[in-house]
Structure 1
């Protein structure tokens, strides 16, 4: 009897693990979809009320001032669309674990969309949490990255795609003479980092 019970238990445990994984993916997708819809509505409301922020003017205003801005962790700051890999998602402020588990997240001390500097984000490409950036490795130089914010829409064009060690944080360095973007995700089962850089024309 015991010999017969063990295989059954193993099958049950396996099914439970599979169901848990599927459930987490569905929950993550729904959470992301709800936030995208919510942020889209906020953008439309902002336009209707004529409260779009004015573009910064002059050299001093164009410089990155992120170190002086308040951080509203978890707030949606942009919708991202990479047509070449059929990716649409929302980007939220801050790199806290709970946010990174479900969304693409913005490194706090980097530029904002459309600003001079390096707008830098990160996200999972994991079967455990979410798969937002699973296909990022498929992008090519020249592909467009579209960002939609309450300030307007910005198009970045991919310039490079490469692999680095996890401790190579130089990819987040700021160059205030350009409007660039960096996307970071895991590669090689978390042992490396895949980096995609882009620039506004």
Structure 2
């Protein structure tokens, strides 16, 4: 192969690498945009229902049984890490791909028991809990359902092994457990808290 052919071959390889790089970037962007769209749909539905109740005093029920195939539970906000995410029933791979997921056997928001939530630290689609490790004792976690606002205060943030599932055990009081992976997904970040207030959003 002559020098000219070598240069031509190198140019072709270079162009192919550029095309591959652009394709990878475009795919990642598409996945993130898709996630934002799904999150936005649920958050807008919740906010629409809440505003109906607070502005008129006569709450008009918004159908939240299913949105784009998912069953929304609440909106979770953690002001200290600027998080606002839709919470969906279940922790299947398809749910956690886009949303925070509610452990179905755990307590509902505001109920006595252990209200448990899982979320990805980093994935192709979402990085909802990427900063969960930064949450510290005293921080607030706000959970808004269609008619109530529950405020939990963080009591502890620690790391456990994946098999240490006792962190999900039920409790007598209204408590909260948030779960995500550490870097490398070898361990789990656990945030524990307790309910400190409940406010109606329909009056």
Residue 39 of structure 1 corresponds to 46
CA distance in 2, matches of 1:80, 1:127: 19
CA distance in 2, matches of 1:2, 1:51: 66
1:22 matches 2:29:
yes
Residue 190 of structure 2 corresponds to 195
Structure 1 residue 183: deviation in Å?
Answer: 0.6
- Further displaced range: 5-14 or 73-82: 73-82
Residue 3 of structure 1 corresponds to 10
Q: Deviations over 1:135-180 (max 9, x none)?
A: 11111110000111134111100011111122221111001x2110
CA distance in 2, matches of 1:35, 1:78: 9
Is the Cα contact below 8 Å between 2:155 and 2:194 reproduced in 1? yes
Structure 1 residue 8: deviation in Å?
Answer: 1.7
Residue 180 of structure 1 corresponds to 175
Name which one, 1 or 2, has greater alpha-carbon Rg: 2
Is the Cα contact below 8 Å between 2:97 and 2:123 reproduced in 1? no
CA distance in 1, matches of 2:179, 2:52: 31
Report the TM-score when normalising by structure 2.
0.82
Q: Gaps (5+ residues) in structure 2?
A: 1-7, 197-203
Report the TM-score when normalising by structure 1.
0.83
Is the Cα contact below 8 Å between 1:74 and 1:94 reproduced in 2? no
Q: Gaps (5+ residues) in structure 1?
A: 53-70
CA distance in 2, matches of 1:126, 1:182: 19
Which portions of structure 1, spanning 4 or more consecutive aligned residues, are displaced by more than 3 angstroms? 43-52
Is the Cα contact below 8 Å between 2:113 and 2:175 reproduced in 1? yes
Residue 160 of structure 2 corresponds to 164
Structure 1 residue 127: deviation in Å?
Answer: 4.1
* SS in structure 2 at match of 1:156: strand
